[in-house]
Amino acid sequence: MKILITGGGGFLGFKLARVLLARGALGGKPITSLTLLDGAFPSAAAQESRCKLVTGDVADAKILASVCPPDTDAVFHLAAVVSGAAEADFELGMRVNLKGMELLLERMRQCAKPPRLVYTSAVAAFGGSLPPVLDDSTIANPQTSYGAQKVIGEYLVADYSRKGFVDGRSLRLPTIVVRAGKPNAAASSFASGIIREPLNGVVSDCPVPPETGVWLLSPRRVVEAFIHAWELPPEAWGTQRWLNLPGITASVAQMVEALRRVAGDEVAKRVVYKADARIQAIVKTWPVNFRTPRALAMGFKADSDVESIIRDYIADENIKFA
């Protein structure tokens, strides 16, 4: 089993790599090769000798040829210019999120047999006038460049799958909380920041009002979802190759209150509301409430509550807070 993870140096990509290595197999077959592609890697990656680390651009056809040889079996495509950055730099978002997607699919089409692909999309696929609760019949109507690029990627994955070039599956991710490490350029970065930074003894400036709702999923659950999505047989997907992942809805105020219950008043007081009109304009287009019967019927799982997400983060990252 030869596996490629694009965006393998990111928090989720590297977490996925570690879980796969711990399992030793994917789809019941031993993992013989695991290649990670990214623009940069965390220092911990250099200590992981079981991975091949390739520093490069996902929109570079020569790089893709080197990391996706003809006998590649599995691809997890996580590489992306995230929401805030894609909105601020249109050309960069188009090059990485769209051209990179096209080049990767074309490279996979050259493989000896159709590789199985898991593509990470996002709830940024939705926007505009939305029903109070979205479900599997809600039409994608992105209101950001990032969302538009992700939806185009979904359509490409579906068509390449229809043609038999790849066996693709697109997952629309909720906001992933709590992401370890430093804040990134995603408009949703605050959702992790209001938990992560206070636990690290740092004040977190929250750019949105406390009543702002967010559709959440933990890193543990999303990595489980990546693997589960890959291991499902093609007939489980049928002709609908995209999926809204299950999650939980919480307001910023509820997240801070959960932090208070887990870590105490002094930690929770480190969240400071500091309005940012640019971030608010992006976040307010995103949906908050979902029904995900298809995903649940296919075996995908949500977290139980925000407190459990915070406790899992503390345990996984060995956080010592005060």
73 in Cβ contact with 4 (< 8 Å): no
Tell me which amino acid residue 138 is.
T
Q: Are strands 248-251 and 213-217 parallel, antiparallel or unpaired?
A: antiparallel
Enclosing H/E stretch for 34 = strand 33-38
**Sign for the pseudo-dihedral over CA of 61, 62, 63, 66:** positive
Q: Answer yes or no: 313 catalytic.
A: no
Q: Which residues pair with 13 in a beta bridge?
A: none
Helix axes 11-23, 219-231, angle to 10 degrees: 60
What number of H helices and E strands is found in the chain?
Answer: 14, 14
153 in Cβ contact with 101 (< 8 Å): yes
Tokens found for residue 65: 């040829």
Which one, of 105, 212, 122, lies nearest residue 160 by Cα?
Answer: 105
In degrees and rounded to multiples of 5, residue 211 shows phi and psi of -80, -5
Instruction: Enumerate long-range contacts of 61-67, CB under 8 Å, 24 or more apart.
Output: 61/103, 61/107, 63/37, 64/103, 64/104, 64/107, 65/107, 67/4, 67/6, 67/35, 67/37
Q: Which of 119, 146, 160, 313 is catalytic?
A: 146
Pairing of strands 52-55, 74-77: unpaired
Alpha helices in the chain (DSSP H): 11-23, 61-67, 83-88, 90-93, 100-109, 145-162, 189-199, 219-231, 234-237, 252-263, 265-268, 277-283, 293-297, 306-316
Q: Give the amino acid at 319.
A: I
User: Active-site residue numbers?
Assistant: 146
